Amino acid sequence: TAYIAFQVLRTRIGKIDSPDCPACKREPETVHHYLLQCPAHRGARARLRAEIGSKNMFMEKLLNCRDSLKPLFQFINDTGRFRNTFGVLPPLENEEDVGEG
């Protein structure tokens, strides 16, 4: 199973020396920081918020709600954070692309 190693995890397992976010270099990079706080991703986050609504801008909804997946993939592509690792994530067009859940 693949997983995404943010800087904090990579520091804990000894892969890198600093947990700092590579985009803003202000705070440790965690999933929460990347999705909801990083000032470097403000524009991408604004587009995500416009797509899913402010009431859905919290971790549980972003990561567990089927309706959030397509906009979340777009956010990830917009930030370019994982492009070197995963390339450009394909757009989710149909419910069948998302799977059951």
pLDDT tens figures, 53-80: 999 999 999 999 999 999 999 999 999 9
In a domain, 64, yes or no: yes
Query: Per residue in 77-96, pLDDT tens?
Result: 999 988 887 889 887 776 55
Count other Cβ atoms within 10 Å, centred on residue 93: 9
In a domain, 99, yes or no: no
In a domain, 101, yes or no: no
Contact 61, 52 (CB under 8 A): yes
In a domain, 77, yes or no: yes
In a domain, 94, yes or no: no
Give me the domain span that covers residue 37. 7-83
Count: domains in the chain: 1
In a domain, 65, yes or no: yes
Query: Per residue in 7-62, pLDDT tens?
Result: 777 777 787 788 889 999 999 888 999 999 999 999 999 999 999 999 999 999 99
**Residue at token pair 């199973």:** 1
Residue 32, C-beta contacts closer than 8 angstroms, at least 6 positions apart: 59
